[in-house]
Structure 1
Amino acid sequence: MNLSTQRILVTGGTSGVGRALAEHLTARGAQVVTCGRTAEPDARTVRADLAVPGEAARVVALAAAELGGLDLVVANAGVQYPTPLTAGPDPRVLALARQEIEVNLASVVELAAAAWPHLVAAPDAAFVAVTSGLAYAPKQSAPVYCATKGAVHVLLEALRHQARRETPGVRVQEIVLPLVDTAMTAGREGPARKLSAGQAAEAVLRGIERERDVVAVGASRALLALLRVAPPVGRRILRDG
């Protein structure tokens, strides 16, 4: 895929990895529309809360109208909160958990359904979603986040099967990120050094260009390899992350 000629939607593109992706793509010559909850709206930036049903579809419609179609959609938006569940029902914790489910999983489903007619019409198209090493080896402090990312991993695998059968011109790719230095991960440490948002974005774009089904970035490559040969060790490493 030649990214310099693509019409691209990046969700969660006003901060962190999404912003770096949008900046790198724009620098290459791509036409990019982004969205974010606190975005300053303009022709290429949509203010949207993807926790609200219908917002993902609205963003797709606006992006396609602005760009004259879509060649690539990157479902990058995500939120993560500590969600202790063993102490009983805490309304605040449950509200945060629902937000994680809506943003991290439900909006990806809606985004795919809304984007597909536009992607099918493009000569070279892809639907890409961002997961995490935590989709494969969860940590104890964020069970709902890990569950949503695991669900997106499975969603993408099934969607890839559908696409190959029904719409073979549209690729489905998964980006497996390690810990990246963003506002969401402030104060958090892991077994490997954090990547910068720019480093992560460059790795993501290389994977998209090479059209790989699963693009494991940074330390995620080592984690997935470890999980293949010694699953208990890999899970133990991330359990208390």
Structure 2
Amino acid sequence: MRIAGKTALVTGGTDGIGLEIARQLRAKGATVIAVGRDPGRLASARDEGFETVKADLSTKQGCDHLVEEIGGAPIDMLVNNAGMGGPSDLLTDFDLDKTDQAIFLNLNAPMHLIAAFLPTLRERPEAAIVNVTSGLAIAPRAGGPVYCATKAGLRSFTQALRHQLKDTRITVIEALPPVVDTRMTAENPRKKMAPADCAAEIVRAIETNKAEAFIGATKLLRVVSELSPAAARHIMIKY
């Protein structure tokens, strides 16, 4: 896809990977609408010159609000990047309200937005839907059961969507990052990829119409999983 002159809607676009995607798409000539829910980060994004929309995508109402705010504006790229970790300890911290919030934000919201914007995307000369999942969509870790479940679900949805849209002008891309240095991973002691480096590989996948972007350490995880899914699960469950 030629990025220059296109309009991109990036959820979670005011922080972390999403903000870096927004910056790099704009640097290549795109108009970027950054979606977030934190007033301070939205203000910072506006100060950088981005168009912004405040929306809490962990609820249906928030998704509907975003669609209403965009109206009939032509969107060439929908980047479903917003996400959250959710409860991690099934024995002591299994908050069902937070679980439902994470499931909606990570899995339901991309489906809602794709359904809403698909007619517009199909009218464009070329378009892209980018779903940001995770290496944990391939094999889960015990410390993130809700997050892993939602990302595995989004991976499966993305694969089915890609097949359904194979005869259209829409490229369906799945980006699978490793552990990236963001607010969500602040307490993770493992080596982390820089958000800008992760975003660069996602933007490259958009430019080259690449169906799957395995990023950083997930490239190795993919190889291990293809050779032995059981080995991948054994390695990642304790990660």
Q: What does 1:138-157 correspond to in 2, within 5 Å?
A: 138-157=140-159
State whether structure 2 residue 46 is matched by structure 1 residue 46: no
Q: Which residue of 54, 69, 74 maps to 1:69?
A: 74
Partner amino acid, structure 2, of 1:184: M
Alignment of 1:16-55 (within 5 A): 16-39=16-39, 40=42, 44-55=51-62
- In the TM superposition, residue 64 of structure 1 has moved relative to its aligned partner by 5.3
- In structure 2, distance between residues paired with 1:185 and 1:225: 24
Structure 1 unaligned segments of length 5 or more: list them: none
3-state SS of paired residue (1:46): strand
Look up the equivalent residue of 1:94 and give its one-letter code.
Answer: L
Q: Which residue of 1 aligns with 2:174?
A: 174
Contact 1:17 1:200 in 2 (8 A): yes
CA distance in 1, matches of 2:36, 2:10: 10
The letter of the residue matching 1:27 is A
Kindly report which structure 2 residues correspond to 1:67-146, keeping only aligned pairs within 5 A, or say none.
68-86=73-91, 93-146=95-148
Number of residue equivalences: 232
TM-score under structure 1 length normalisation: 0.90
- Give the aligned partner of residue 4 of structure 1: 4
For 1:141, what is the secondary structure of its paired residue? coil
Deviations 1:48-107 (A, max 9, x none): 110110322432442355xx30101000000003332245xx6x6111111110100010
Consecutive unaligned residues of structure 2, counting only runs of 5 or more, are none
TM-score (structure 2 length as normaliser): 0.91
Separation of aligned partners in 1, 2:52 and 2:127: 21
Q: Distance in 2 between matches of 1:84 and 1:231?
A: 24
Letter in 2 for 1:151: G
* 1:186 lines up with 2:193 in the alignment: no
Asked whether the 8 Å contact 1:84–1:93 carries over to 2, the reply is no
SS of the equivalent of 1:54 reads: helix
- Match of residue 233 from structure 1: 231
Identity %: 37
Give RMSD over aligned pairs: 1.7
Q: Give the aligned residue type for 2:70.
A: A
Secondary structure, aligned partner of 1:173: strand
Aligned-partner residue type, residue 57 of structure 2: L
Which portions of structure 1, spanning 4 or more consecutive aligned residues, are displaced by more than 3 angstroms?
39-43
SS of match in other structure, 2:84: coil
